[in-house]
Structure 1
Amino acid sequence: MSDYPVIRWHEAGIDRSARWCSEKDMPPPRRVLVADDRVTADAAYRLVCEGTALLWRGDFQNARQLLQALARRADKKKGDAQTKKTTSSPAERFHQHRQAQSQRARILDSLQIPFNADHSIPLRRAPDVRLACLEAYGPRAEAYIVSLRELQGLIGAFEWRKKGIALPALGARIHPHYGVFAPIRSEYVGLVADTPLPRLVTTHSVAFDIGTGTGILAAVLARRGIQRIVATDQDVRAIDCARENLTRLGLANQVDLAQTNLFPEGQASLIVCNPPWIPARPSSPLEHAIFDPGSRMLRGFLHGLSAHLAPGGEGWLILSDLAEYLGLRTRAELLAAIDAAGLRVLSKSDVKPHHPRVADTTDPLHAARRAELTSLWRLTRQNDR
């Protein structure tokens, strides 16, 4: 028995199988039909809606066009369904939106692409994606199958990694790896760059960056002159990504990286955390940087902060209030969690997001996004004065 998922199908009178790869941790489809350039978009849409995956054997560029056609049909169905709903609760609208997104993803993820063991694609007019797949999946010893939609995301991430994301607050570019949350929404970086450092930093120049991701906030703190920073993350991809970025920026000597959950050992004068902002269940591992069921990371950070702050130190919590406008968490609940953790608020700085969705009136969550603020909460222990 193999120790990885296997996708099975029938082709040319023979039962076949291959390794199944899914970064979403989706199980391999149970029904698989071989398809090529002869299948129509309507027929393909009907099949995938019925739960049949399509293993593509035709021209690669035609597969891309078919995926676009499937997306148009899925979006039309989603739009028709939304016009019929008259719910007034923001939380209901959010959950309906998430459900529609999940259904759309299931449909679009049903178009599958074969790969050789060397990450090449055995289809006509297929691009050379071997380097991108090698960086994401590592070396392989056998052929495998991936959804075309996942492949497109992988290629997009590879391009982001090559060119990087310009961050004015850092005065440099950050290069995210595949599977590591990219700081495209960077308004919070400016908050960390501009907020006055705790006075304790002048005598105890140690900071923790909890959930470092690409290493962006550790880099900002290092650029601000903090002598020693410990940056933590549970994800080995994030640790590797942060290490590469910090080395590229010439800051690796100031930052120690630790693969651990939340806090490292010891105390710091400043502890920074940018947890997932929305207390809802992620639909895939790639969404853990956005969705945090039950606000587990937020509550874990608050609960452990007091013990890891040096006397007179500060914890900086970077958090959007989008969840409040979506009806998923109240401000009173957040303040109660801060108080229960033995902390008090020193101040709060806000910034208005400037990403494109703020102006997108077709977004079902537009009203919440328009009102959203991202804040830096300066926290300290209740008994510190």
Structure 2
Amino acid sequence: MQVADDRLAADAAYHLICEGSTLLWQGDFFNARHLMEALKRRLDKPKLRGKAQKNAKPAHPPAPAATPALAFHQQRQVQARRAHILGSILIPLNGDYRIPLRRAPDVQAACTQAWGPADGTARVIALRELQGIVSAYEWRKNGVQIPALQTLGGYDRIHPHYGVFSPVRGEYVDLVAQAPLPATATQTAAVAWDIGTGTGVLAAVLARRGVPQVIATDNAARALACAQDNVQRLGVAAQVQLCNVDLFPPGHADLIVCNPPWLPVRATTSLEQAVYDPDSRMLRGFLAGLAAHLRPGGEGWLILSDLAEHLGLRSRADLLAWTEAAGLRVVGRLDIRPHHRKAQNASDPLHSARAAEVTSLWRLAV
């Protein structure tokens, strides 16, 4: 770790970080942000200097990866290197979450939401992580508008907490709002389960659709607190019960909904656990246990993107084989195309897979 301040040039900072140093910033806070932006530019568009720039030959585009899976893993390596470099600018925090730097913003409320009340311990934090905490604070304060909730009436925003995956890609929520409910799911004693509830958005949609009782499960304390906050805001707390459990709670249900992580690879951060499911553990666990928990006439709804299939990380044959081995049959499927920007970005190394992606709600029965 090296002390750095406003006198450090961006090129020198970049070389220090690439050689293995982290930079403890002691200068103006806004200059630390400017340095971060300069590092981003060097990562996005590396520049040649002096004679090297004059004598440089036109760059040839890199050869495409041999397979989509290799392209995916190469992109993860690039992202990991980028995260390492941008995470190497460290900012000091006092024991009350104040930043002892010139022109530093007030981040006490954001840090308190992320970590709990200050305990008097001074620390350092990567500027990039601090920016993420402040961004999460704003998302939680303002909320994310969910069109499906608006269609079903009442308050229509979900407020994601720090460390809980935000439903910014809302197409899967639309599928749950539109799929035909099993005949038994709206009866007086009907119960639906939302497995891995996260922000609680799907539990809220089911409650708004008239399911009398919804049990929403998760094994992350942050997610359960977030879901509780959201179901109260949305006015469905009387219908939704939160349960700290991995996958299924005890008992049986008329409808069991699960939106597992879509890509079967290892997560490297806690937030990535909402996207990456090593060896399809949660997906296979849901399928294997579903039949034992469904009431007669009930259905299981599996929400899954086929991006992993287009990337060569999992095959459709695998998914169908796991379904059949679990004693399940497919009684229907709803499909929707994603609307996110990456699907339209031709410069994305994974563009061909993203452009072909379809998100599906699989209706499963015993």
Query: In structure 2, what is the equivalent of residue 87 of structure 1?
Result: 65
- Code of the residue aligned with 2:345 in structure 1: it is D
Structure 2: distance between partners of 1:99 and 1:243: 36
- The offset of 1:357, in angstroms, is 1.1
Query: In structure 2, what is the equivalent of residue 229 of structure 1?
Result: 214
Query: In structure 2, what is the equivalent of residue 191 of structure 1?
Result: 175
Structure 1 residues 146-185: aligned runs within 5 Å: 146-171=125-150, 172-185=156-169
Structure 2: distance between partners of 1:94 and 1:352: 20
The secondary structure found in structure 2 opposite 1:120 is coil
- Relative to 1, partners in 2 of residues 1:93 and 1:82: Cα closer, same or farther, differing over 3 Å? farther
Please, which of 27, 33, 41 is the counterpart of residue 64 of structure 1?
A: 33
Structure 2: distance between partners of 1:295 and 1:304: 14
- The offset of 1:309, in angstroms, is 0.8
- Code of the residue aligned with 2:121 in structure 1: it is E
Query: In structure 1, what is the equivalent of residue 51 of structure 2?
Result: none
- Relative to 1, partners in 2 of residues 1:231 and 1:294: Cα closer, same or farther, differing over 3 Å? same
Structure 1 residues 1-385: aligned runs within 5 Å: 32-77=1-46, 83-139=61-117, 140-171=119-150, 172-203=156-187, 204-381=189-366
- Code of the residue aligned with 1:242 in structure 2: it is A
Structure 1: distance between partners of 2:176 and 2:65: 38
- Relative to 1, partners in 2 of residues 1:82 and 1:165: Cα closer, same or farther, differing over 3 Å? farther
- Code of the residue aligned with 2:17 in structure 1: it is V
Structure 2: distance between partners of 1:77 and 1:247: 49
Whether the 8 Å contact between 1:344 and 1:380 is mirrored in structure 2 is yes
The secondary structure found in structure 2 opposite 1:288 is helix
**TM-score, scaled relative to structure 1:** 0.89
CA displacement, residues 11-50 of structure 1 (integer Å, 9 cap, x when unaligned): xxxxxxxxxxxxxxxxxxxxx0010000000010001111
Whether the 8 Å contact between 2:91 and 2:127 is mirrored in structure 1 is yes
- Relative to 1, partners in 2 of residues 1:216 and 1:81: Cα closer, same or farther, differing over 3 Å? farther
- The offset of 1:81, in angstroms, is 10
- Code of the residue aligned with 2:192 in structure 1: it is A
Structure 1: distance between partners of 2:59 and 2:229: 45
Query: In structure 1, what is the equivalent of residue 52 of structure 2?
Result: none
Whether the 8 Å contact between 2:159 and 2:230 is mirrored in structure 1 is yes
- The offset of 1:77, in angstroms, is 4.9
Whether the 8 Å contact between 1:102 and 1:283 is mirrored in structure 2 is no
Aligned Cα RMSD in Å? 1.5
CA displacement, residues 159-216 of structure 1 (integer Å, 9 cap, x when unaligned): 1101100011011000000000000000011110011100122444100000000000
**Larger deviation, residues 81-90 vs 235-244:** 81-90
Runs of 5+ unmatched residues, structure 2: 48-57, 151-155
- The offset of 1:73, in angstroms, is 1.1
Whether the 8 Å contact between 2:94 and 2:120 is mirrored in structure 1 is no
Whether the 8 Å contact between 1:348 and 1:375 is mirrored in structure 2 is yes
Point out the structure with the larger strand share. 1
The number of aligned residues is 349
Structure 2: distance between partners of 1:86 and 1:289: 28
Structure 1: distance between partners of 2:61 and 2:78: 13
The secondary structure found in structure 1 opposite 2:308 is helix
CA displacement, residues 42-82 of structure 1 (integer Å, 9 cap, x when unaligned): 0100011111100000000000000011111122359x999
The secondary structure found in structure 2 opposite 1:252 is coil
Structure 1: distance between partners of 2:44 and 2:124: 26
Structure 2: distance between partners of 1:183 and 1:61: 31
Structure 1: distance between partners of 2:215 and 2:271: 24
- The offset of 1:312, in angstroms, is 1.4
Whether the 8 Å contact between 2:137 and 2:161 is mirrored in structure 1 is yes
CA displacement, residues 99-141 of structure 1 (integer Å, 9 cap, x when unaligned): 1100111111101000011111000011111000000011222
The secondary structure found in structure 1 opposite 2:22 is strand
Whether the 8 Å contact between 2:186 and 2:212 is mirrored in structure 1 is no
**TM-score, scaled relative to structure 2:** 0.93
The secondary structure found in structure 2 opposite 1:306 is helix
Runs of 5+ unmatched residues, structure 1: 1-31
Structure 2: distance between partners of 1:334 and 1:342: 13
Structure 2: distance between partners of 1:198 and 1:81: 58
Structure 1: distance between partners of 2:27 and 2:157: 39
Structure 1: distance between partners of 2:247 and 2:46: 42
- Code of the residue aligned with 1:61 in structure 2: it is F
Structure 1: distance between partners of 2:78 and 2:61: 13
The secondary structure found in structure 1 opposite 2:169 is coil
